[in-house]
Amino acid sequence: MQAMGKQQQAESPTQRIHRTYAELPEGERKAADLILDMPGELAIWSASELAERAKVSNATVSRLFRRLGYGSYEEARRAARSMRAVGSPLYLAESAKGAIQERDFLARHIDIEMKIVEATLAMVNPLTLDAVAELLTKRRRLRVAGFRNSYFAAEYARTMLAQFRPGVEMLNAPGQTLAEGIAGVGPGDVVLVIGLRRRPSSFTDFVRSVTEAGADVVLIADRSIREAPAVAHYNLSCIVETPQAVDSYAGVLALLRLLALSVLAKLDVQGRRHLERIETIHEKLSELE
Protein backbone atom coordinates (compact mmCIF):
# COMPACT_ATOMS: atom_id res chain seq x y z
CA MET A 1 0.00 0.00 0.00
CA GLN A 2 2.86 2.36 0.80
CA ALA A 3 4.47 1.61 -2.59
CA MET A 4 1.17 2.31 -4.33
CA GLY A 5 0.86 5.59 -2.46
CA LYS A 6 4.31 6.68 -3.65
CA GLN A 7 3.45 5.62 -7.19
CA GLN A 8 0.27 7.70 -7.14
CA GLN A 9 2.10 10.76 -5.84
CA ALA A 10 4.51 10.54 -8.80
CA GLU A 11 1.73 10.12 -11.37
CA SER A 12 -0.04 12.94 -13.15
CA PRO A 13 -3.87 13.00 -13.23
CA THR A 14 -3.85 11.68 -16.81
CA GLN A 15 -1.51 8.82 -15.91
CA ARG A 16 -3.83 7.81 -13.08
CA ILE A 17 -6.77 7.83 -15.49
CA HIS A 18 -4.94 5.62 -17.97
CA ARG A 19 -3.98 3.19 -15.22
CA THR A 20 -7.57 2.77 -14.00
CA TYR A 21 -9.39 3.40 -17.28
CA ALA A 22 -10.47 -0.21 -17.87
CA GLU A 23 -12.18 -0.28 -14.45
CA LEU A 24 -14.16 2.95 -14.82
CA PRO A 25 -17.97 2.83 -14.93
CA GLU A 26 -19.59 4.50 -17.95
CA GLY A 27 -20.34 7.82 -16.22
CA GLU A 28 -16.86 8.20 -14.77
CA ARG A 29 -15.38 7.22 -18.13
CA LYS A 30 -17.21 10.13 -19.79
CA ALA A 31 -15.57 12.58 -17.40
CA ALA A 32 -12.22 10.81 -17.81
CA ASP A 33 -12.44 11.02 -21.60
CA LEU A 34 -13.08 14.75 -21.41
CA ILE A 35 -10.02 15.27 -19.19
CA LEU A 36 -7.83 13.17 -21.48
CA ASP A 37 -9.02 15.17 -24.48
CA MET A 38 -8.29 18.50 -22.75
CA PRO A 39 -5.97 17.84 -19.78
CA GLY A 40 -4.92 21.47 -19.45
CA GLU A 41 -8.51 22.47 -18.61
CA LEU A 42 -8.46 20.43 -15.41
CA ALA A 43 -6.54 23.25 -13.75
CA ILE A 44 -9.27 25.71 -14.75
CA TRP A 45 -12.65 23.96 -14.54
CA SER A 46 -14.55 23.57 -11.31
CA ALA A 47 -16.03 20.18 -10.51
CA SER A 48 -19.44 21.47 -11.57
CA GLU A 49 -18.11 22.69 -14.91
CA LEU A 50 -16.48 19.33 -15.60
CA ALA A 51 -19.70 17.52 -14.69
CA GLU A 52 -21.76 19.79 -16.93
CA ARG A 53 -19.44 19.41 -19.92
CA ALA A 54 -19.23 15.63 -19.49
CA LYS A 55 -23.01 15.44 -18.95
CA VAL A 56 -22.64 13.58 -15.67
CA SER A 57 -23.50 14.40 -12.07
CA ASN A 58 -21.24 16.14 -9.57
CA ALA A 59 -21.29 12.94 -7.52
CA THR A 60 -19.90 11.01 -10.50
CA VAL A 61 -17.01 13.47 -10.79
CA SER A 62 -16.29 13.10 -7.07
CA ARG A 63 -16.30 9.31 -7.32
CA LEU A 64 -13.91 9.44 -10.27
CA PHE A 65 -11.28 11.45 -8.42
CA ARG A 66 -11.60 9.35 -5.26
CA ARG A 67 -11.02 6.30 -7.46
CA LEU A 68 -7.92 8.00 -8.85
CA GLY A 69 -6.55 8.35 -5.33
CA TYR A 70 -7.21 12.05 -4.72
CA GLY A 71 -8.70 13.28 -1.47
CA SER A 72 -10.80 15.81 -3.38
CA TYR A 73 -11.29 17.40 -6.78
CA GLU A 74 -9.31 20.43 -5.60
CA GLU A 75 -6.31 18.21 -4.89
CA ALA A 76 -6.41 17.02 -8.50
CA ARG A 77 -6.66 20.62 -9.71
CA ARG A 78 -3.58 21.55 -7.70
CA ALA A 79 -1.72 18.61 -9.26
CA ALA A 80 -2.75 19.78 -12.73
CA ARG A 81 -1.59 23.32 -11.98
CA SER A 82 1.82 22.07 -10.92
CA MET A 83 2.33 20.26 -14.23
CA ARG A 84 4.07 21.96 -17.08
CA ALA A 85 1.58 23.66 -19.41
CA VAL A 86 1.10 21.59 -22.56
CA GLY A 87 -0.12 24.39 -24.83
CA SER A 88 -3.46 25.82 -25.86
CA PRO A 89 -6.11 23.55 -27.44
CA LEU A 90 -5.83 23.21 -31.17
CA TYR A 91 -8.44 25.29 -32.99
CA LEU A 92 -8.82 24.23 -36.59
CA ALA A 93 -10.84 25.78 -39.36
CA GLU A 94 -14.39 24.51 -39.66
CA SER A 95 -15.13 21.87 -42.25
CA ALA A 96 -15.92 23.40 -45.59
CA LYS A 97 -19.51 23.04 -46.77
CA GLY A 98 -20.12 22.64 -50.46
CA ALA A 99 -17.69 23.40 -53.23
CA ILE A 100 -14.75 25.71 -52.50
CA GLN A 101 -12.26 27.36 -54.80
CA GLU A 102 -8.96 25.56 -55.26
CA ARG A 103 -7.02 28.56 -53.93
CA ASP A 104 -9.05 28.62 -50.71
CA PHE A 105 -8.69 24.87 -50.31
CA LEU A 106 -4.89 25.05 -50.53
CA ALA A 107 -4.68 28.00 -48.11
CA ARG A 108 -6.91 26.21 -45.62
CA HIS A 109 -4.87 23.03 -45.91
CA ILE A 110 -1.63 24.91 -45.25
CA ASP A 111 -3.20 26.59 -42.21
CA ILE A 112 -4.34 23.25 -40.76
CA GLU A 113 -0.95 21.58 -41.25
CA MET A 114 0.91 24.50 -39.68
CA LYS A 115 -1.38 24.52 -36.65
CA ILE A 116 -0.95 20.77 -36.17
CA VAL A 117 2.85 21.06 -36.20
CA GLU A 118 2.80 24.08 -33.87
CA ALA A 119 0.36 22.45 -31.43
CA THR A 120 2.32 19.19 -31.36
CA LEU A 121 5.67 20.85 -30.70
CA ALA A 122 4.09 23.17 -28.11
CA MET A 123 3.13 20.10 -26.08
CA VAL A 124 6.73 18.91 -25.79
CA ASN A 125 8.13 19.11 -22.28
CA PRO A 126 11.85 19.95 -22.72
CA LEU A 127 12.74 17.85 -19.67
CA THR A 128 10.94 14.81 -21.07
CA LEU A 129 12.51 15.35 -24.49
CA ASP A 130 15.98 15.49 -22.94
CA ALA A 131 15.38 12.34 -20.87
CA VAL A 132 14.06 10.43 -23.89
CA ALA A 133 16.96 11.56 -26.09
CA GLU A 134 19.39 10.43 -23.38
CA LEU A 135 17.70 7.03 -23.28
CA LEU A 136 17.80 6.60 -27.07
CA THR A 137 21.45 7.62 -27.05
CA LYS A 138 22.82 5.46 -24.25
CA ARG A 139 20.94 2.15 -24.44
CA ARG A 140 22.77 -0.71 -26.16
CA ARG A 141 19.90 -1.61 -28.49
CA LEU A 142 17.10 0.54 -29.82
CA ARG A 143 13.99 -1.04 -31.30
CA VAL A 144 11.14 0.82 -33.00
CA ALA A 145 7.56 -0.39 -33.43
CA GLY A 146 4.34 0.82 -35.01
CA PHE A 147 1.23 -0.72 -36.51
CA ARG A 148 -1.06 0.17 -39.40
CA ASN A 149 -0.77 3.93 -40.09
CA SER A 150 1.88 4.19 -37.38
CA TYR A 151 4.21 1.78 -39.17
CA PHE A 152 5.51 4.32 -41.69
CA ALA A 153 6.19 6.81 -38.87
CA ALA A 154 8.08 4.11 -36.96
CA GLU A 155 10.11 3.24 -40.05
CA TYR A 156 10.85 6.95 -40.54
CA ALA A 157 12.15 7.12 -36.96
CA ARG A 158 14.26 4.00 -37.47
CA THR A 159 15.75 5.41 -40.68
CA MET A 160 16.79 8.67 -39.04
CA LEU A 161 18.15 7.18 -35.81
CA ALA A 162 20.09 4.44 -37.62
CA GLN A 163 22.14 7.15 -39.34
CA PHE A 164 23.55 8.26 -35.99
CA ARG A 165 24.01 5.08 -33.95
CA PRO A 166 24.22 1.30 -34.42
CA GLY A 167 21.76 -1.25 -33.05
CA VAL A 168 18.58 0.39 -34.38
CA GLU A 169 16.02 -2.01 -35.86
CA MET A 170 12.28 -2.46 -36.23
CA LEU A 171 10.81 -4.63 -33.48
CA ASN A 172 7.85 -5.68 -35.62
CA ALA A 173 9.85 -6.30 -38.77
CA PRO A 174 8.15 -7.93 -41.76
CA GLY A 175 8.30 -11.72 -41.71
CA GLN A 176 8.48 -12.16 -37.94
CA THR A 177 5.90 -12.51 -35.20
CA LEU A 178 5.50 -10.00 -32.39
CA ALA A 179 6.62 -12.65 -29.92
CA GLU A 180 9.89 -13.08 -31.82
CA GLY A 181 10.49 -9.34 -31.75
CA ILE A 182 9.64 -8.95 -28.07
CA ALA A 183 11.78 -11.95 -27.10
CA GLY A 184 14.75 -10.16 -28.63
CA VAL A 185 14.71 -7.28 -26.13
CA GLY A 186 15.42 -7.11 -22.43
CA PRO A 187 16.94 -5.00 -19.65
CA GLY A 188 19.28 -2.39 -21.06
CA ASP A 189 17.25 -1.95 -24.25
CA VAL A 190 14.81 0.79 -25.23
CA VAL A 191 11.79 0.48 -27.50
CA LEU A 192 10.26 3.50 -29.23
CA VAL A 193 6.59 2.77 -29.94
CA ILE A 194 4.42 4.90 -32.24
CA GLY A 195 0.71 4.52 -31.43
CA LEU A 196 -1.49 6.77 -33.54
CA ARG A 197 -5.25 6.32 -33.52
CA ARG A 198 -6.94 3.33 -35.13
CA ARG A 199 -4.47 1.16 -33.26
CA PRO A 200 -4.88 -2.64 -33.08
CA SER A 201 -7.15 -3.74 -30.23
CA SER A 202 -4.23 -5.53 -28.53
CA PHE A 203 -1.98 -2.43 -28.54
CA THR A 204 -1.87 -1.99 -24.75
CA ASP A 205 -1.10 -5.69 -24.30
CA PHE A 206 1.77 -5.30 -26.75
CA VAL A 207 3.24 -2.34 -24.83
CA ARG A 208 2.81 -4.21 -21.56
CA SER A 209 4.59 -7.28 -22.96
CA VAL A 210 7.56 -5.14 -24.03
CA THR A 211 7.87 -3.61 -20.55
CA GLU A 212 7.56 -7.05 -18.95
CA ALA A 213 10.48 -8.17 -21.11
CA GLY A 214 12.55 -5.58 -19.23
CA ALA A 215 12.98 -2.94 -21.94
CA ASP A 216 12.21 0.74 -21.35
CA VAL A 217 9.33 1.99 -23.50
CA VAL A 218 8.98 5.46 -25.02
CA LEU A 219 5.45 5.94 -26.36
CA ILE A 220 4.50 8.57 -28.93
CA ALA A 221 0.73 8.76 -29.39
CA ASP A 222 -2.15 11.12 -30.05
CA ARG A 223 -4.67 12.19 -27.41
CA SER A 224 -7.14 9.40 -28.24
CA ILE A 225 -4.97 6.77 -26.58
CA ARG A 226 -6.12 5.13 -23.35
CA GLU A 227 -4.39 2.90 -20.75
CA ALA A 228 -1.11 2.32 -22.62
CA PRO A 229 0.51 5.57 -21.34
CA ALA A 230 0.33 4.16 -17.80
CA VAL A 231 2.48 1.22 -18.94
CA ALA A 232 5.11 3.21 -20.85
CA HIS A 233 8.09 4.76 -19.09
CA TYR A 234 7.98 8.01 -21.10
CA ASN A 235 5.15 9.58 -23.10
CA LEU A 236 5.18 12.18 -25.86
CA SER A 237 1.98 13.49 -27.46
CA CYS A 238 1.09 14.62 -30.96
CA ILE A 239 -1.95 15.95 -32.80
CA VAL A 240 -3.38 13.99 -35.74
CA GLU A 241 -7.07 14.94 -35.91
CA THR A 242 -8.26 17.43 -38.52
CA PRO A 243 -11.69 18.52 -39.78
CA GLN A 244 -10.81 16.81 -43.05
CA ALA A 245 -11.48 13.23 -44.15
CA VAL A 246 -8.03 11.90 -43.19
CA ASP A 247 -5.70 12.47 -40.26
CA SER A 248 -2.52 14.51 -40.57
CA TYR A 249 0.86 13.08 -39.61
CA ALA A 250 2.76 16.33 -40.03
CA GLY A 251 2.90 16.72 -36.24
CA VAL A 252 4.29 13.29 -35.44
CA LEU A 253 6.92 13.56 -38.20
CA ALA A 254 8.00 16.96 -36.85
CA LEU A 255 8.21 15.48 -33.35
CA LEU A 256 10.27 12.50 -34.55
CA ARG A 257 12.66 14.80 -36.41
CA LEU A 258 13.06 16.91 -33.26
CA LEU A 259 13.81 13.75 -31.28
CA ALA A 260 16.36 12.55 -33.85
CA LEU A 261 18.16 15.90 -33.80
CA SER A 262 18.21 15.78 -29.99
CA VAL A 263 19.79 12.31 -30.12
CA LEU A 264 22.40 13.50 -32.63
CA ALA A 265 23.27 16.45 -30.40
CA LYS A 266 23.88 14.10 -27.47
CA LEU A 267 25.94 11.67 -29.56
CA ASP A 268 27.96 14.62 -30.88
CA VAL A 269 31.23 13.39 -32.48
CA GLN A 270 30.26 9.74 -32.04
CA GLY A 271 27.07 10.25 -34.03
CA ARG A 272 28.76 12.19 -36.80
CA ARG A 273 31.46 9.52 -37.16
CA HIS A 274 28.80 6.85 -37.52
CA LEU A 275 27.13 8.95 -40.22
CA GLU A 276 30.49 9.40 -41.97
CA ARG A 277 31.09 5.63 -41.98
CA ILE A 278 27.71 5.11 -43.64
CA GLU A 279 28.44 7.74 -46.29
CA THR A 280 31.85 6.24 -47.02
CA ILE A 281 30.28 2.82 -47.63
CA HIS A 282 27.61 4.45 -49.81
CA GLU A 283 30.37 5.83 -52.01
CA LYS A 284 32.25 2.52 -52.23
CA LEU A 285 29.11 0.68 -53.28
CA SER A 286 27.88 3.51 -55.52
CA GLU A 287 24.47 3.04 -53.93
CA LEU A 288 23.13 6.57 -54.28
CA GLU A 289 22.99 9.13 -57.06
Please indicate whether the domains covering 2-82 and 122-283 agree at the CATH topology level: no
Instruction: Quickly state the pLDDT bin for 10 (edges 50, 70, 90).
Output: low
Q: What is the DSSP string of 135-170?
A: HHHHSSEEEEEE-THHHHHHHHHHHHHTTTSS-EEE
Mean pLDDT of the chain: 84
- What is the residue extent of each domain of the chain? 2-82, 122-283
Pick the CATH number of 122-283 from 3.40.50.10490, 3.90.1300.10, 3.10.310.10, 3.30.2290.10: 3.40.50.10490
- 48 pLDDT more than 90: yes
pLDDT digits (tens, 9 = 90+) for 94-109: 333 443 455 677 888 8
Q: Please, which pLDDT band fits residue 82 given cuts at 50, 70 and 90?
A: confident
| pLDDT of residue 6 exceeding 50 | no
How far is Cα 81 from Cα 76, in angstroms, rounded to an integer? 9
Q: Over 50: is that where the pLDDT of 155 sits?
A: yes
Higher pLDDT, 287 or 35: 35
The pLDDT confidence band at residue 275, using thresholds 50, 70 and 90, is: confident
CATH architecture of 2-82: Orthogonal Bundle (1.10)
pTM of the model: 0.72
Percentage with pLDDT > 90 across the chain: 49
- The amino acid occupying position 212 is E
Residue 271 has pLDDT above 80, yes or no: no
pLDDT at 1 over 60: no
Confirm if 165 and 134 have CB atoms less than 8 A apart. Answer: no
Q: Residue 143 has what pLDDT?
A: 94
The tens digit of pLDDT for each residue in 183-231 reads: 889 999 999 999 998 899 899 999 999 999 999 999 999 988 888 899 9
Mean pLDDT of 152-165: 92
CA–chain centroid gap for 102, Å, is: 34
**Percentages of the chain per state (helix, strand, coil), in multiples of 5:** 60, 10, 35
pLDDT above 80 for 249: yes
